[in-house]
Structure formats: structure tokens, C-alpha cells
Homo-oligomer: A and B are copies of this chain.
Amino acid sequence: MSDVRLLTAPFDPAAELSAFTAAHPQAGGIVSFLGQVREGGGCEALELRHYEPLTLPAMRDLAARVRDRWTLGGLLVIHRSGVMLPAEPIVLVAAAARHRRDAFAAADFAMDHLKSESWFWKREKQGGEWRWIEPREQDFEDIARWA
């Protein structure tokens, strides 16, 4: 079973990861990725917007693809939507597996696809002005690694 959540309020990644770990004592290894709003670099706030009928179903679909591709004991995917301040968590992915290699690959794949394919629109506040963030070439390259 995968735990996939789209949250509109802040969450505590340490508590989530701790609960996930406790739920998978039979897994030898747990790989996690935590993405947070960068402090410094001039970003005052980040806003993610989603489209309810598409965003969460697509996240669940991605989780199912990850579970099909690797042998996992558990998969956790939490993504924020809404306005976030520097150092606030945006996304947490964790994969629990018997074998380390599966856990690493699953978390890496999930992040590449979440970042480039998920239905989120992002804008950033810099110097008091909001500006939309366009797709990056790097994201397409990240995804091409898994073909």
C-alpha cells in the first residue's frame, strides 16, 4: 500500500518519516527525499497551485507505476500546495525496501516524475514581485534517464 497525500497546510517531515519507518520494520532500508523552499537566493515565498481533479489522481498513478517497477515494502508521497516560506517542506518521498538499490531507484524515479509531470503550477516571490516558473530543460533530461 502506498500513502499518497496532497496537503494545503504545512507538514512535519521528521514525524512523517518516523511514522513511515515505524510502519515498515521488515524493510532493511528506507530512502527519503525531502524538498524544501531554499533559504537565501532571494526567494521570499513559493506558491504551488494544483487542479483538484487532476493533481492527486496523477500522483496516485505515479505511485502505482513506482510500485510496479520496484519491489517495495512501502511508498510515501506527500506534496504541498499553496504558499510556502523559505525552509518549509514542499515534498517528501520515502521508499522502504528489502534491498537498498530498489529503495534508491524508486525514490529517485518518483522525484524525477513528480517534478516534471505533476499538475502543479509554481510561482515565486522575489523582491516583492510574483513571477511564474517555466518548465526547465533539465526536467526532460531527468525523465529521459528512465526510458
Interface assignment of A63: CB less than 8 Å from any CB of chain B: no
Q: How often does this chain occur in the complex, in copies? A: 2
Interface assignment of A128: CB less than 8 Å from any CB of chain B: no
Indicate if the CB atoms of B100 and A33 lie closer than 8 Å.
yes
* CB closest chain-B residue, reference A37: B28
Indicate if the CB atoms of B39 and A25 lie closer than 8 Å.
yes
**Distance in Å: Cβ of A49 to nearest Cβ of chain B:** 20
Known: A14-B17, A17-B17, A28-B36. 15 other contacts (CB 8 A): A14-B21, A17-B32, A25-B86, A26-B39, A26-B40, A27-B38, A28-B38, A29-B33, A30-B33, A32-B32, A32-B34, A33-B100, A104-B104, A104-B107, A104-B108
